[in-house]
Structures are given as structure tokens and as C-alpha cells.
Amino acid sequence: MSTIKTTPRDVFLHALMIVSLAILMVSITSILFSFIEFWIPDAIDSWRSTSGIHGEIRGFMSAIIISLPVFLGISKLIEGDLSKNPAKHKLGIRKWLLYITLFVASIILIIDGIVLVQAFLAGELTLRFFLKILTVLVAAGGVFSFYLWALKRTGKDGSPYPKQAAIALIVVVVAVIVSGFMIIGPPSEQRNIRLDEERVQDLSSIQYAVVDYYSENKELPASLDILEDQGRVYEGIKDPETGAVYTYTITGDMTFELCATFSTESDEDSSIRSEYGVKGGSSWKYTTGENCFERTIDPEELQIPDRAILNF
């Protein structure tokens, strides 16, 4: 009777399975946490903008989309190898690697639990806390039940459990991905959002340059060309998609207007900023189409004396 030995391939496949499973577990639990926080907002998280949560969801979705096929593919290879060589079920290295898998899963779940309890003690909504706990328990139950069963396998049972577990995982991931797209929208919409964010950054840079120019010259610049010539804004600052020049209009001695055309509607949570040298901060709340933003220089913040005093 030949003896089945552990090969480098066995170690590689099981190690890669552990890594892909860890990434998948963290990503699924984290994205479900983000869903819960999005669907059940809490006043103590008012600092978290919708765009910030969208960014988290995009990151977790990317990790899930990549790690799931890796995990399923490696698991299928391992399962096929075990079917051909049932004696490998008794390999010591296999049992070690399965226990390491459970160990890694335990560490991840313990850390999640600590973070959840800390958030609860800090005043997080009870409903959100219990939904997150339920998420962790379901994830823990699924991982531990499967791998504890795998440790006891003899290779002679012909159990459909691995296939059923894979199907259940795929169903969960598909539901998560669909929910993610329902929240953040399709990639085309995300592109428009990012372009609009860049437009706001450009307008904010122009605004800062105008205020900086005023603080030095005690008057508003006649045009954006002056700001470009002096290197206060980058040369050729234009709409990132259409190449249209942003509209800058002087409306008074200390007031001016900036205009741009947007593709989406702004996130209410992140539309107000406290920016240098303008009264009342800067509202960048916009809707689809052309939007103009009125700004008034705040001489007190710039420590500029009143014009009457200067004329005296």
C-alpha cells in the first residue's frame, strides 16, 4: 500500500485558500456593516458622508469580486484532489492547515466583535448593533460548521455538502453585489460622480486663488487668465470631461460667482465646507446641469482694513 505524502502543491493550495477566505470573510462582513449603516443612519455618525460609505462599498465589492472566484477555484481543486486521493483526508498537514483556517477565521471574528462592542458602548443604535452581531454570528456559523465538518471527513461519504456550501456562498455574494450596485449605482454613474467631485475641487482651487489674490491686491482679479499667469491655479484649468472653461464673474467689490455644469446631484452631507476667506463657508450643493456659486470675501478673516479706513 503506497503512502500518500504532502506535496508543495497541497501546501500552496491550502495556504491560498486561507488567504482568499480571510479576504472574502472580511469583505462580506464589512460590506454588510456598510449596508446597515447606510440603511439605518445614526446621528453619531454624521461625520460620515454618503460618498464616504459609497467608497467603502466600492472597495469591499472589488475585494469580493476578486477573492470569491479565487476561493471557489482553489476549493474545487482541493476537493477534486481529495476525491481522487481519499487518503489525503488523513494527512497531518491538511488538518494543520484546516485548523489554521479556523484560527484565522476566529481572529477576524474576535476583532469584529471587539469593534462592535466598542461601538455599542460608545452609543451606537441598538438595532444597528444587533444586526451587525447577527451578521458576525451567521458568518461564524457558516465558516466553522463547514471546516469542522471538513476535519471529520473520511473521504468515503460522497457528501454534497461542499457543493451546497459553494452554491449558498455564491447566492449570498450575488445578493451583496446587487445590493451594492443598488446603493452606489452602476460604474457609469460612479464616473459622473467622480467627475463632478473633480469639478468641485477645481472650483474650490479657483476660489482659494481669487481670495489669495484679493488679500494681496485688495481687489478681485479681472479674469482667470491672471490667476493662471501668476501660477495661482494650474494652467488651462477646465472641465475635466468637456474641456469647457469655468465661468468666473465679478458681481461686486468683494463678491464673485463661479459656474460649472454638473452631471449628477451633490451629496447633501458633503456639500458644505469651511473655506479660507469667504463669508459663511462654501456651499457646493449642486443639481444636474449648470450651477453657479456666489461668494463674498470676508475681510475680517483676511485681516484687511475696511475700504473707508484705507481711503482715509
Contact 83, 159 (CB under 8 A): no
C-alpha–C-alpha distance, residues 169 and 307, integer Å: 70
Contact 287, 245 (CB under 8 A): no
Contact 67, 24 (CB under 8 A): yes
C-alpha–C-alpha distance, residues 48 and 268, integer Å: 11
Give the SS3 label for residue 258: strand
Overall residue count recorded for the chain in this entry: 312
pTM beyond 0.85, yes or no: no
**Residue (of 93, 135, 130, 98) closest to 17 by Cα position:** 98
- In order, the DSSP letters of 71-125 are HHHHHHHHHHHHHH-GGGGG-HHHHHHHHHHHHHHHHHHHHHHHHHHHHHHTT--
Domain ranges of the chain: 8-185, 189-311
C-alpha–C-alpha distance, residues 73 and 171, integer Å: 16
Cell numbers that stand for 98 in this block: 484546516
C-alpha–C-alpha distance, residues 57 and 14, integer Å: 28
Amino acid 155: pLDDT: 58
Amino acid 126: pLDDT: 78
C-alpha–C-alpha distance, residues 3 and 182, integer Å: 53
Contact 258, 247 (CB under 8 A): yes
Amino acid 173: pLDDT: 93
Q: What is the pLDDT along the chain (312 residues), one digit of tens a residue?
A: 446 677 788 788 888 888 888 889 889 999 998 998 888 887 666 666 777 788 899 999 999 999 999 999 998 888 777 777 777 767 777 778 778 878 877 887 788 788 888 878 877 777 888 888 888 888 888 888 887 777 776 655 566 777 888 888 899 999 999 999 988 888 888 889 889 989 999 999 999 999 999 988 989 999 999 999 888 888 888 999 999 999 999 999 999 999 999 999 887 655 556 677 788 667 888 999 999 999 998 887 776 554 433 443
